[in-house]
Structure 1
Amino acid sequence: MQRELFNDDAYLRQAAARVLHHDERGLVLDATIFYPTGGGQPGDIGHLVLEDGRRIEVTDTRRDRGTHQIVSTLTSGGPWLVPGTPVGLELDWPRRHRHMRMHTALHLLSAAVPAGVTGGNLTDRSGRLDFDAGALRLDPAELTARLQAMIAADRPVHVRSISGDELRAQPELIRTMSVSPPLDAPIVRLIEIEGTDLQPCGGTHVARTGEIGAIRVGRIENKGARNRRVALDFLEDGP
């Protein structure tokens, strides 16, 4: 079993681990701070540090569909690491922190728009959600003002959990129309923005909305008869 340390502490930037196995797919560790691509959030990058001081770049992180293990892709030309090898993990923190800020901002956006979410993704500079908005009028300036007020309120962000059966009995918590959370799972992770939003999510988030920083709705596009795409941009590098 891998310990997914980012679930316990999204702010953890360094950690120690040991190699479980290393093959053509990549590197599997007994513990990792690197978040794997998922839920619209890109996989983390960073470095491994070997005992002799050598540094190996981690260029991507994904979850293997067959084993569900988190696999880190390493830069080409590095050494093959045998099971049991101790390594230090160093996260590209500025990039991850921007992901955390944008991901939390998208949760605020989903709370601000009273419509089902049909898709979305994010980078460390921007993000977007698609809504089944129908005839709902969406104005960029109005949405920006609502988001800025939510951010300025500096509301706490909590990680909670619920059983799949409990979530099935509360379908209003599920905002995404295209992808369903694992309703058969014994535990489903929830992200709560106090007094604002509560929904299933496996991504990494900031601890308070004030940490998101200045953001705006950059554009709203029609993507079909009912679908509206709302894009967010950072206005500054942030905290």
Structure 2
Amino acid sequence: MSELLFRTDAYLRLCTATVTAVDEQGLQFDRTVFYPNGGGQPGDSGQLLRQDGSTVVISNTVKGATADAVLHLPAEGSSLPQVGEEVTLVLDWDRRYAHMRYHTALHLLCKVVAAPVTGGQVAADKARLDFAVEMDALDKEAIEAGLNALVAAAQPVTARWVDEAELDANPELVKTMSVSPPRGTGTVRLIEVTGTDLQPCGGTHVHNTAEVGRLVVQKIRSEGKQNKRIIIAFAS
């Protein structure tokens, strides 16, 4: 098990940690700022700094066998640390922050397009959501204007934990048809964009919609009879 520091403070860029496991699956630590791939958000990359001055590149981060297990994948050929060694984990912050801005933007897109979400993906240069909706119900200019109005509203983005029973009593909070919120611990994390969106989400987000920045709708395309994909990006 690892203390997942990104759950309480997504803005932490580094942390000291103790190595708890080293094997072919990856490196594990007693605490980490690295988000593992999941929920449409890519795993973090960055560096591991050792006390002897050497550096190990972390190329990706994925989930382990349990809810609190995080596997940090070193670049091929790296000289690996030993169990019990104290190291410093440093994020590729520019990449992570782009993920945070885009993940928050997708919550805004859920508000602008009032339809069930069938899938989604965040990257460092764009993001997309798929909706169960007819193509003629989607207007590119209107969606873009709606997104940027929510960005300009500068609404706070906050997280809180609720009992699984509360989520069961309010199934409308789950807006993604293809991905269920993680369960088994007794509580579920909700992300709220004040006055705009409330839904379970385990990803990382910015503190205020103003941080997202101006957005453009790059493309709207069909991915099936009632599955339409909206791709957004930061305005240049």
1:110 is paired with a residue of what secondary structure? helix
Match of 2:44 in 1: 44
Alignment of 1:41-190 (within 5 A): 41-65=41-65, 69-134=69-134, 137-190=137-190
Q: Which has the larger displacement, 219-228 or 19-28? A: 219-228
Alpha-carbon separation, structure 1, partners of 2:92 and 2:146 = 31
Tell me the distance in 1 between the aligned counterparts of 2:152 and 2:67: 42
How big is the shift at 1:90? Answer: 0.7
Which deviates more from structure 2 when the two are superposed, residues 128-137 or residues 31-40? 128-137
- Please list every run of 5 or more consecutive structure 1 residues that lacks an aligned counterpart in the other structure: none
For the 8 Å contact 2:56–2:80, the answer to whether it is kept is no
| Letter matched to residue 115 of structure 2 | A
Deviation at 1:80, TM superposition (A): 3.0
Asked if structure 1 preserves the Cα contact closer than 8 Å seen for 2:39 and 2:179, the reply is: no
Letter paired with 1:192: E
Q: 1:22 to 1:191 in 2, by over 3 A?
A: same
1:183–1:32 Cα change, 3 Å: closer
> 1:186-197 maps to which residues of 2 (within 5 A)?
186-197=186-197
Letter in 2 for 1:181: P
Distance in 2, matches of 1:177 and 1:56, equals 38
Deviation at 1:223, TM superposition (A): 1.6
CA distance in 2, matches of 1:209, 1:38: 22
Q: CA RMSD in A?
A: 1.4
TM-superposed deviation, 1:30: 0.5
Give per-residue Cα distances to partners, 1:123-172, cap 9 Å, x unaligned.
01101100011376111110000000000000000011111111011011
Q: Which consecutive segments of 4 or more residues in structure 1 shift more than 6 A?
A: none
Task: Report the 3-state secondary structure (helix = DSSP H, G, I; strand = E; otherwise coil) of the residue aligned with 2:76.
Answer: coil
1:8-63 CA distance string (max 9 Å, x none):
11000011000001011110011000000000000000001100111110000000
In the superposition, the TM-score normalised over structure 1's length comes to 0.95
Report the more deviating stretch, 57-66 or 94-103.
57-66
- Give the Cα separation in 2 of the matches to 1:214 and 1:153: 12
Gaps of 5+ in 2: none
Contact 1:48 1:56 in 2 (8 A): yes
**What is the alpha-carbon distance in structure 2 between the residues aligned to residue 65 and residue 183 of structure 1?**
14
SS in 2 for 1:199: strand
The two structures have a TM-score, normalised by structure 2, of: 0.96
Q: Distance in 1 between matches of 2:167 and 2:138?
A: 29
Shift of 1:224: 1.6
Match of 1:11 in 2: 11
Once the two structures are superposed, what CA deviation does each residue of 1:61-97 show, in whole Å capped at 9, x if it has no partner?
0002467510000112222322110001111000000
Between the aligned partners of 2:42 and 2:121, the Cα distance in structure 1 is 8
Q: Residue by residue, what CA displacement relative to the aligned partner does 1:93-135 show, whole Å, maximum 9, x if unpaired?
A: 0000000000000010011111100001010110110001137
Q: Distance in 1 between matches of 2:6 and 2:123?
A: 18
The more displaced of 222-231 and 200-209 is 222-231
Matched residues in 1 for 2:51 and 2:235: separation?
Answer: 41
SS at match of 2:35: coil
SS of 1:99's partner is helix
Structure 1: distance between partners of 2:155 and 2:67 = 37
Matched position secondary structure for 1:47: strand
Identity rate, percent: 46
Size of the aligned set, in residue pairs, is 236
